[in-house]
Amino acid sequence: MTVTVKPLKDGFGAEIAGIDLSRPVGGEDRDAVYGAFLDHHLIIIRGQALSAEQVTAAARIFGDKLEPHLFEHFHHPDTPLIMVLSNRVEDGKPKGMADAGSFWHTDVSYKPNPAKATMLYALEVPDDGGDTLFCNLTAAYEALPEAMKSRLDGLRAVHDYAYLPRDVFTSGKVTPPPDCSQPLIRTHPETGLKAIYISPAYIVRIEGLADDDSEALKKEIYDHCLHDRFRMRFKWRTGDVVAWDNAALMHSATTKELDPAKPRTLWRATISGGPVF
Ligand SMILES: O=C(O)CCC(=O)C(=O)O
Ligand SMILES: [Fe+2]
pLDDT of res. 1:
67
* CA-closest residue to ligand 1 atom 10: 107
Q: How far apart are alpha carbons 139 and 32 in whole angstroms?
A: 23
- Domain-located, residue 237: yes
Domain count, the chain: 1
Answer whether 125 contacts ligand 1 (Cβ < 6 A).
Answer: no
With residues binned 3-state (H G I as helix, E B as strand, rest as coil), the percentages for the chain, rounded to 5, are 25, 30, 50
Choosing from 268, 270, 271 the residue with most ligand 1 atoms within 8 A of its CB, the one to mutate for a pocket test is 268
- Strand ranges, E, within 32-87: 42-45, 66-67, 83-86
Q: How far apart are alpha carbons 174 and 198 in whole angstroms?
A: 23
How far, in Å, is the centroid of ligand 1 from the Cα of 256? 11
* Cβ atoms 253, 100 nearer than 8 A: yes
* pTM score above 0.95: yes
In one letter, which amino acid is 69? Answer: H
How far, in Å, is the centroid of ligand 1 from the Cα of 110? 16
| CATH number for the domain that contains residue 251 | 3.60.130.10
Residue 104 has pLDDT above 80, yes or no: yes
List C-alpha distances in Å: 207 to 78, 109, 204: 41, 16, 9
- Domain-located, residue 208: yes
Mean residue pLDDT of the chain comes to 96
* Neighbouring C-beta atoms of residue 21, cutoff 10 Å: 21
If you average pLDDT over residues 25-37, what whole number do you get? 97
pLDDT in tens, 188-213: 999 999 999 999 999 999 999 999 99
* Cβ atoms 253, 142 nearer than 8 A: no
By residue range, what is the domain housing residue 70?
A: 4-272
Q: How far apart are alpha carbons 96 and 255 in whole angstroms?
A: 13
pLDDT of res. 6:
98
Residue 165 has pLDDT above 90, yes or no: no
Q: What residues form DSSP beta bridges with 203? A: 159
pLDDT in tens, 32-88: 999 999 999 999 999 999 999 999 999 999 999 999 998 898 999 999 999 999 999
pLDDT bucket at 2, cuts 50 / 70 / 90:
confident
**Which bound ligand lies closest to the C-alpha atom of 253?**
1
pLDDT of res. 229:
97
pLDDT of res. 171:
86
pLDDT in tens, 114-157: 999 999 999 999 999 999 999 999 999 999 999 999 999 999 99
If you average pLDDT over residues 232-239, what whole number do you get? 98
Q: How far apart are alpha carbons 264 and 96 in whole angstroms?
A: 10
- Domain-located, residue 105: yes
In one letter, which amino acid is 123? Answer: L
- Domain-located, residue 277: no
